[in-house]
């Protein structure tokens, strides 16, 4: 049966062709609606806000990273570095003693091993290096250069850190009169007996008798929570030996202020300024790199560089701190 819509239309006696438009319309694919146009990324103030956020976050991260590393290095990793230095110094000094080439003074190159110090009561064994500047004491206790070597006739002074880089003299305040201190130098071995402890302002020990040797250990102590890194007082331990080796003439009459107890090495300021400039340059480089690469990739590359610069910077900062800390 033919419906009205499908019936042919007659025009001038001829039937009109049947229209298939409706079928064609059903077969043609439907056009998809156009996607909405995304608004262009805003420029101007939003970019400046994003850049400011990047600067703040990068700077904060860098400062936190360097600060935490400094604390970790001074109190923990510095001890590992000092122990490594002591191992190398012990091997060097032992070989020199065996070959009879260990230094006996009066002038020795700073940083060279000059004695082996042992305190049985504290279970301590440390190689003493020549020099008492902050940089010298990073490796171990240091011999004050205008005094005789330990065990030689006269008074020998040895300085050691109390809190950082292994803190070799942290427990010398536990020594009591009668305790033994054993010292080995290029000339042989000497045993000292502790006479007592004193602090700044206390009476000095009696003049030393001829042919005897005195050893004075010097470190720092303080009170309160910051006593470890900000000691306020100098502690002295005096010990004597009844016999001594001859001391060669020609000792320096004095030493720079940086080598005296609680001295500061201000000569490191130019190097420290360079280290800080490199840290600033690295921070600016990270800020610029974050505009082009992902945050993770940038910090994977930048973190080792930041830690290396933090290590060098901490060494510089340590030289600006009192040499007995």
Question: In this predicted structure, what is the pLDDT of residue 24?
Answer: 46
Q: Are 15 and 9 in contact (CB under 8 A)?
A: yes
| Among the listed residues 204, 228, 216, the one whose alpha carbon sits nearest the alpha carbon of residue 322 | 228
In a domain, 125, yes or no: yes
| Among the listed residues 243, 26, 261, the one whose alpha carbon sits nearest the alpha carbon of residue 160 | 261
- The residue written with tokens 């070959």 in the block is 99
In a domain, 314, yes or no: no
In a domain, 36, yes or no: no
In a domain, 189, yes or no: yes
In a domain, 50, yes or no: no
Taking only the tens of pLDDT, the chain with its 325 residues reads: 555 455 455 555 555 555 555 554 555 556 666 666 665 555 444 456 657 777 888 888 888 888 888 888 887 888 999 999 999 999 999 999 999 999 999 999 999 999 999 999 999 999 999 999 999 999 999 999 999 999 999 999 999 999 889 999 999 999 999 999 999 999 999 999 999 999 988 999 999 988 899 999 999 987 655 555 667 789 999 999 999 999 999 999 999 999 999 998 888 889 889 999 999 999 999 988 888 888 888 889 999 999 899 888 988 888 888 899 8
Q: Which domain CATH number covers 78?
A: 2.40.260.10
Range of the domain at 212: 69-266
In a domain, 278, yes or no: no
In a domain, 301, yes or no: no
**How many residues can be counted in the chain?**
325
Number of independent structural domains in the chain: 1
Cα gap 265→269, rounded to integer Å: 8
Cα gap 53→230, rounded to integer Å: 36
Cα gap 137→128, rounded to integer Å: 9
In a domain, 8, yes or no: no
């Amino acid at each position: 049966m033919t419906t009205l819509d499908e019936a042919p239309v007659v025009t001038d006696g001829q039937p009109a062709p049947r229209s298939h438009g409706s079928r064609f319309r059903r077969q043609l694919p439907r056009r998809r609606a156009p996607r909405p146009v995304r608004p262009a990324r805003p420029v101007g103030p939003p970019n400046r806000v994003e850049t400011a956020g990047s600067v703040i976050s990068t700077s904060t991260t860098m400062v936190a990273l360097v600060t935490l590393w400094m604390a970790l290095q001074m109190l923990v990793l510095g001890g590992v570095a000092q122990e490594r230095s002591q191992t190398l110094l012990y091997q060097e000094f032992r070989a020199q003693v065996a070959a009879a080439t260990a230094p006996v003074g009066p002038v020795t190159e700073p940083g060279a091993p000059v004695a082996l110090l042992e305190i049985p009561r504290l279970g301590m064994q440390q190689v003493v290096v020549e020099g008492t500047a902050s940089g010298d004491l990073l490796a171990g206790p240091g011999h004050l250069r205008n005094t005789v070597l330990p065990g030689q006739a006269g008074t020998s002074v040895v300085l050691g850190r109390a809190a950082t880089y292994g803190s070799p003299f942290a427990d010398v305040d536990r020594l009591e009169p009668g305790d033994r201190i054993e010292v080995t130098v290029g000339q042989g071995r000497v045993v000292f007996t502790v006479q007592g402890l004193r602090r700044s302002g206390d009476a000095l020990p009696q003049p030393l008798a001829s042919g005897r040797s005195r050893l004075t250990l010097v470190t720092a102590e303080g009170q309160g929570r910051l006593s470890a890194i900000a000691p306020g007082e100098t502690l002295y331990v005096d010990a004597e030996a009844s016999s001594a080796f001859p001391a060669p003439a020609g000792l320096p009459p004095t030493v720079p202020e940086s080598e005296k107890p609680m001295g500061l090495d201000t000569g490191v300021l130019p190097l420290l300024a360079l280290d800080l400039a490199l840290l600033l340059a690295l921070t600016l480089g990270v800020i610029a790199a974050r505009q082009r690469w992902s945050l993770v990739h940038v910090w994977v590359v930048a973190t080792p560089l930041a830690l290396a610069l933090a290590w060098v910077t901490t060494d510089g900062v340590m030289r600006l701190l009192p040499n007995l800390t």
